């Protein structure tokens, strides 16, 4: 019997229901990975995997005491995980219960509102010559930087952003991080860039914004305290001197791809007509 014969036998009995079964499992695994990304569950998953490896090693090596200890700990660990991750479990169940289309349109609407609040706040800070830095999480989690700041978990509003960065306010130092259309934390400290090609005219805020975008795919909006200039940092580079309309357009392109597709289709139809 050759190596290919068992594979061919499996493929001959592989039907549409088997394909559907594999696709459902793949989607479930993908959704679970999205939920745990940037959370403590990632480290816990590695710990659980290590525990499983130690269990099988102890079983193969006849380490009876270690094997007995792990077997008796499993039941208590399940309850401990439920208690520790009750918030994450609630979030996961709520995510599963949402309809895909309703969630998409609601998320698009929330993204538009968040963008508008950020643009208005940047305009007010620029007019008042008040410095500020707002980092917006995208695919790569910013949990490490959020945990180093002051947790807020508040709705994104321009008046709250302006109040945070007001000189003399307790949270005006550091950055505001927006995660999932909410202000996750304020007074967060970001890594400074060490790129020697960065202009000497940029201060600590701009260097922190560039440093964050060098390590993650976050979008960062900066308002200069000295000049009131509005800038946007992305992928280790910075765009300076943006107006409110230009900032709004760039944020829509980066954060609301559905809106960008619709606008491009409208422009194409207008051009063809």
Model confidence pLDDT, tens digit, residues 128-173: 999 999 999 988 888 889 988 999 989 999 999 999 999 888 888 8
According to CATH, where is 3.40.1700.10 located in the chain? 100-265
The arithmetic mean of pLDDT across residues 114-119, rounded, is 93
Phi/psi of residue 227, nearest 5 degrees: -110, -15
Among candidates 84, 94, 96, 86, which has minimal Cα distance to 48?
A: 84
Helix (H, G, I), strand (E, B) or coil at 217: coil
- Res 104 pLDDT > 60: no
Give the per-residue pLDDT at 5: 62
Distance CA 243, CA 233 (A): 15
Structure tokens at 18: 């088997």
Question: Which tokens in the block code for residue 245?
Answer: 């309309």
- In this prediction the pTM is 0.58
Look up residue 130 and give its two tokens.
Answer: 């008040």
**What pLDDT, on the 0 to 100 scale, is given for residue 162?**
94
What pLDDT score does 40 carry? 59
Q: Say if residue 91's pLDDT is above 70.
A: no
State how far the alpha carbon of 248 is from the alpha carbons of 67, 192, 201, 264, in Å: 59, 26, 25, 16
Q: What is the pLDDT of residue 17?
A: 80
> How far apart, in whole angstroms, are the C-alpha atoms of residue 247 and residue 232?
8
**What is the structure's pLDDT at 66?**
81
pLDDT value of position 186: 94
232 to each of 92, 163, 205, 225, 270, how far by Cα in Å?
A: 32, 21, 11, 15, 30
Write the pLDDT tens digit of every residue in 217-267.
899 999 998 889 999 999 888 999 999 999 999 999 888 755 444 444 443
Say what the pLDDT of residue 187 is.
93
For residues 80 and 213, which has the higher predicted lDDT (pLDDT)?
213
What local confidence, expressed as pLDDT, does residue 259 receive? 46
Residue-averaged pLDDT of the chain = 79
Residue 64: CB atoms within 10 A of its CB come to 10
Distance CA 4, CA 154 (A): 58
pLDDT at 268: 43
111 with 147: CB under 8 angstroms? no
Name which of 219, 227, 188, 220 is nearest 206 in CA terms: 220
Strands 175-179, 132-136: pairing kind = parallel
Own/partner long-range contacts of 199-206 (Cβ < 8 Å, ≥24 apart): 202/238, 205/131, 205/132, 205/133, 206/231, 206/233, 206/238
pLDDT of residue 149: 92
Tokens at 109, concatenated: 């609407």
Q: In CATH, what number does 100-265 get? A: 3.40.1700.10
- Evaluated on CA atoms 144, 145, 149, 150, the torsion sign reads negative
Per-residue pLDDT at 2 exceeds 50: yes
13 pLDDT higher than 80: no
Contact 142, 169 (CB under 8 A): no
Task: Please check the confidence at residue 127 and state whether its pLDDT lies above 80.
Answer: yes
Per residue in 33-89, pLDDT tens? 766 665 556 667 777 788 888 888 888 887 888 888 888 887 777 777 777 666 566
| Burial class of residue 268 in the structure, from the number of CB atoms within 10 Å of its CB (0-12 exposed, 13-18 middle, 19+ buried) | exposed
Strand partners, 150: 186
């Amino acid at each position: 019997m050759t190596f290919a014969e068992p594979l061919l036998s499996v493929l001959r009995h592989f039907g549409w229901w088997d394909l559907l079964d594999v696709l459902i499992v793949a989607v479930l695994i993908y959704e679970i990975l999205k939920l745990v990304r940037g959370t403590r569950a990632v480290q816990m998953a590695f710990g659980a995997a290590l525990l499983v490896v130690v269990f099988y090693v102890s079983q193969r090596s006849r380490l009876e005491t270690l094997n007995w200890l792990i077997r008796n700990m499993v039941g208590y660990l399940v309850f401990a995980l439920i208690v520790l991750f009750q918030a994450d479990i609630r979030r996961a169940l709520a995510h599963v219960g949402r309809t895909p289309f309703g969630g998409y349109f609601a998320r698009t609407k929330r993204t538009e509102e968040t963008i508008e609040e950020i643009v208005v706040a940047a305009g007010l800070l620029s007019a008042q010559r008040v410095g500020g830095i707002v980092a917006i999480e995208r695919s790569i989690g910013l949990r490490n930087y959020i945990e180093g700041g002051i947790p807020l978990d508040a709705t994104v509003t321009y008046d709250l952003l302006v109040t945070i960065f007001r000189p003399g306010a307790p949270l005006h130092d550091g950055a505001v991080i927006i995660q999932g259309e909410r202000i996750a934390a304020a007074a967060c400290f970001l890594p400074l860039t060490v790129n020697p090609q960065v202009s000497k005219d940029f201060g600590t805020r701009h260097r922190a914004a560039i440093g964050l975008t060098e390590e993650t795919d976050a979008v960062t909006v900066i308002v200069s305290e000295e000049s009131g200039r509005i800038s946007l940092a992305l992928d280790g580079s910075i765009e300076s001197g943006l107006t409110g309309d230009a900032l709004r357009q760039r944020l829509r392109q980066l954060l609301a791809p559905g809106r960008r597709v619709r606008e491009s289709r409208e422009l194409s139809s207008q051009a063809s007509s």
